[in-house]
Amino acid sequence: MALPPVLQLVAYPPYLSPPAPFKGLTARGPISDSNLMGSALVVLSIVAVLLHCGLAQTPSALAGLPFLDGHTVEDVIVLTTPPPGYEPATTDAEWEPVLRANLYDDLAKYRAKVAKASGCGVSHHVLASLAGKPSGGVQIQRICRMLAGSVQLYGLHLPDTIFELNVFDEPTCRLTRGCRLPVFSMHKRYNFTTNRSMDSDVLFPHLAHPFDRLLFYPWAAKDKHAILRASMQRPYMGMTKHAKWRYLVNADGHVSASRLGYIMQTNSVVLRQQSLWIEYYYRSLRHGEHVLEYNEKTILPMLKSYDDPTRDAELRRIANTSQHFCARYLTPEGKARYAAYALHAYAELFSAALPAFVRGLPGLLDSRSSEPNTTGTVPSGDELVRALLKAGEAEEAGAV
């Protein structure tokens, strides 16, 4: 008997690609599918589960039941396309609270600095020295191409500008005793007691970490303990297994950990370490709303206090809010949009003077090739995006 299309889809083993219209829905579990018999067992198992649950055969219907109450689902449901209610934020109004709490706070000190510079001449002198020091090598090129690809994919626009991006974990400004101009970094320190940055770096999304899935597992079936399983620990434990635990612990490495975004993809409660280290979106997260914050003295009493059935609804609300925040702001599209907002806000510090300054710099890529521009006409930001993509395609073709 032929199975309905969605049931055929979820039965696909991981090493096969599902049909294009159904790539948003996958299911993975502990059953081996390394051979044909294993695949057949996965088919029968998942079909039985879905029929027993009576779930509709669409990802949006599954997402309508974030805690899958009353259903016995053994496999973690993984969605790679956003169901209704989980769409990425796309408008200025939707982004305003996040930008105000994070980006605009980072840039506030530089607005006065740049305004005091006589005709921006001092600032432009520093920019000119940065323009003459290409650094970062392969990692910088990779980030630029990822940004270029995202900008093109989501129909965004980049300004004509020049900026410095620090690709190391340590923030730059703390090592140089302050920055005369904004420097973009991916980590820095922040004092949540005084609500002041301890480093002058402007935070930029880490584009290499794609938080591009949503993971759902029945709340009643989740292990009620907390788990911390970092990427360096062995044996390695993937996110699908993480989703089976009610509490997921995030802890810093030597700076803030990208793990936080990954575990926010689940419908579990995220425990975030109280720390000075932050990434670009941390100041939007609230204790008791998106996460539960802890330190070494409070984590055990806090977990004990939540081991109370009357607080179950509170835990669900926190898990749900966290997962929705991740889906709206932390996906690859969300990171690309934040990066574009950051570059525009940075360029606006210098008013109309910066685009003119950039157009006067030698050595920019011509929009028609990856060769230096010698024609006297300087490409716009959008043209440079296309040039970067073209150069990346040519490099990859040569490597093959």
Residues 262-269 have a mean pLDDT of 97
pLDDT score of 236: 86
Is the residue at 73 inside a domain?
yes
84 part of a folded domain: no
Tokens found for residue 56? 């509709």
**Which of 314, 330, 346 is the endpoint of a domain?**
330
Quick one: which H or E segment has residue 114?
helix 103-116
Q: Is the pLDDT of residue 52 over 60?
A: no
Question: Worst-scoring range by mean pLDDT, 99-103, 120-124, 283-287, 394-398?
Answer: 120-124
**Residues 195 and 227 grouped into a single domain:** no
Higher pLDDT: 182 or 161? It is 182
CA gap 368, 83 in Å, rounded: 40
Q: Within a 10 A sphere around the Cβ of 69, how many other Cβ atoms?
A: 10
Q: What residues contact residue 50 under an 8 Å CB cut-off, 6+ apart? A: 7, 10, 57
Q: What is the dihedral sign for C-alpha 184, 188, 189, 195?
A: positive
**How much is the pLDDT for 233?**
78
As a whole number of Å, the CA-based R_g of the chain is 24
Model confidence at 391: pLDDT above 60: no
Confidence band of 196 (pLDDT split at 50, 70, 90): very high
Same domain, 340 and 322: no
Cβ(378)–Cβ(359) below 8 Å: yes
The residue behind tokens 């995220």 is 270
Residues 229 and 318 occupy one common structural domain: yes
| Cα–Cα distance for residue pair 306/141, rounded to 1 Å | 46
Label residue 111 by pLDDT band (50, 70, 90).
Answer: confident
- Assess if residue 85 is contained within a domain: no
Residues 123 and 191 in one domain: yes
Q: Decide: 178 and 184 in contact? Cβ < 8 Å.
A: no
At 104 the three-state DSSP class reads helix
* Spatial contact of 223 and 245, defined as CB atoms under 8 Å apart: yes
Residue 86 inside a domain? The answer is no
Note whether 358 and 318 are same-domain residues. no
**Does residue 254 sit in helix, strand or coil?**
coil
Residue 191 shares a structural domain with residue 144: yes
Counting the structural domains of the chain, the total is 3
Residue 292, in any domain of the structure? yes
Average pLDDT on 5-14 reads 28
Q: What is the pLDDT of residues 295-331, one digit of tens each?
A: 999 999 999 999 999 999 999 999 999 999 999 999 9
Residues 341 and 324 in one domain: no
Q: Per-residue pLDDT averaged across 229-243, rounded?
A: 85
Mean pLDDT of the chain: 75
pLDDT score, position 8: 26
Cα(238)–Cα(230) distance, rounded to whole angstroms?
Answer: 10
- The predicted pLDDT at position 67 comes to 86
Among 275, 298, 330, the domain boundary falls at 330
**What token pair was written down for 167?**
């690709």
Same domain, 200 and 229: no
Alpha helices in 189-254 (DSSP H): 239-242
Q: Are residues 277 and 351 in the same domain?
A: no
- Domain of residue 170: give its range: 92-206+334-399
Weakest-pLDDT range from 111-115, 141-145, 311-315: 111-115
Is residue 380 situated within a structural domain? yes
Say what the pLDDT of residue 180 is.
Answer: 80
The reported pLDDT for the residue numbered 257 is 93
Query: Does residue 194 share a domain with residue 97?
Result: yes
Mean pLDDT computed over 338-356: 85
- The per-residue pLDDT for range 85-110, each reduced to its tens digit, is 899 999 999 999 999 999 999 999 88
Q: What percent of the chain has pLDDT over 70?
A: 66
Higher-confidence position of 66 and 87: 87
The predicted structure's pLDDT at residue 167: 85
Q: Are 244 and 223 in contact (CB under 8 A)?
A: yes
Which pLDDT score, from 0 to 100, does residue 390 have? 60
CA distance between the termini of the chain: 44
Checking 62-67 for CB contacts under 8 A at 24+ apart, the result is 62/25, 62/216, 63/214, 63/216, 65/216, 66/216, 66/267, 66/320, 66/323, 67/216, 67/218, 67/219, 67/220, 67/267, 67/316
**Structure-block tokens of residue 242:** 């993480």
pTM: 0.75
* Same domain assignment for residues 97 and 200: yes
The yes-or-no verdict on residue 131 having pLDDT over 60 is no
In the structure, what pLDDT confidence band is assigned to residue 344 with cuts at 50, 70 and 90? very high
Sheet with 164-165, strands from edge to edge, namely 164-165, 183-185, 202-203
* Residue 338 sits in the same domain as residue 190: yes
Least-confidence region, from 1-10, 112-121, 358-367: 1-10
Q: Is residue 87 part of a domain?
A: no
Domain boundary among 45, 79, 113: 79
Task: Give me the mean pLDDT over the 102-131 stretch.
Answer: 64
In this prediction, residue 260 has a pLDDT band, given cuts at 50, 70 and 90, of: very high
pLDDT value of residue 387: 55
Is the per-residue pLDDT at 292 higher than 90?
A: yes
Residue 339 lies in a domain: yes
The count of residues in the chain is: 400
6: pLDDT confidence band, cut at 50, 70 and 90?
very low
Task: Give me the pLDDT at residue 68, please.
Answer: 79
Q: What is the arithmetic mean of pLDDT over 151-170?
A: 87
pLDDT at 31: 31
Going by pLDDT thresholds of 50, 70 and 90, the confidence category of residue 400 is very low
